Amino acid sequence: MKLGELEVYKISRDISREVWIIYKKFNWHEKKIIGDQWIRSVDSISANIAEGFGRFHFLDKNKFNYNARGSLLESFDWTDKLLERKYVTEEEYDSIMKKLRLCHKKLNRYIQTTKDQVNKIK
């Protein structure tokens, strides 16, 4: 399997694309105060999945998957704050949160599958 075929990776990249469209509309101050942290947390999801995917050892893979999950949870937090502060619309928020929830579910399953592979070796 190639990285681009991994469903959780594709979902995380889709989130990044959607968030980037919103981020580009922010002015310099908005980007520096809240936008940069939001885009970094979102982009870190797929980046960590990609780095873990390239690792040989299953436990090493999951180290990066756990980092991806941490970034995903951080992305939930920033997205909530952006709605509260009226930087995103309800529609944008709902769309992003739906994808983040799906990504969370898929990432947890991917982590479990990786753990199961370790158990098969033992």
19-60 residue pLDDT tens: 999 999 999 999 999 999 999 999 999 999 999 999 888 888
Q: Count CB-CB contacts under 10 A for residue 57.
A: 9
* Residue 54: DSSP 8-state: T
Nearest CA among 39, 67, 42 for reference residue 53: 67
pTM: 0.93
Q: For position 4, what pLDDT does the model report?
A: 94
pLDDT at 103: 98
Nearest C-alpha neighbor of 111 from the set 40, 61, 36: 61
Give the separation between CA 39 and CA 26, rounded to whole angstroms: 12
User: Domains of the chain (ranges plus CATH)?
Assistant: 28-121 (1.20.1440.60)
Q: What is the pLDDT of residues 56-80, one digit of tens each?
A: 888 889 999 999 999 999 999 999 9
